[in-house]
Amino acid sequence: MKGQKLYYRIGEVSQLLGVKPHVIRYWEQEFGLRPKRGLGMQRRYTPEDIERLRTIKKLLYEEGYKITGAKRRLKIPFASRDQNYRDLLMEILMELKEIGKLLR
């Protein structure tokens, strides 16, 4: 990508890839992607995240893979995806504890 930035917002990634933001959010969920979060919990995608999404788009749209086949092709183990969910839940739990402290 020309003039690479460190982070891109979901709207920018949507335009770069030519897909709607909800498609990107769906792929995140299905493929266990975890973009960093900025202020207000906005997704911040790195150039590496965007390349991963480009690969997913190519597999699904150009090569005709279904989600399961694309996962296999990318060799994303389910255990890894499950770990991402656990990590996310732990982050949420920590944030809720911090909010609880602020409300006391």
Spell out the domain ranges in the chain: 10-76
For residues 97 and 100, what is the distance between their CA atoms, to the nearest angstrom? 5
The one-character DSSP state at 65 is -
Rounded to an integer, the average pLDDT of 54-71 is 93
pTM of the model: 0.66
Whose CA is closest to 45, among 92, 4, 94?
4
Q: Is the pLDDT of residue 5 over 80?
A: yes
**Exposed / middle / buried, residue 57 (Cβ in 10 Å: 0-12, 13-18, 19+):** middle
Q: How would CATH label the architecture of 10-76?
A: Orthogonal Bundle (1.10)
Mean pLDDT for the stretch of residues 37-53:
89
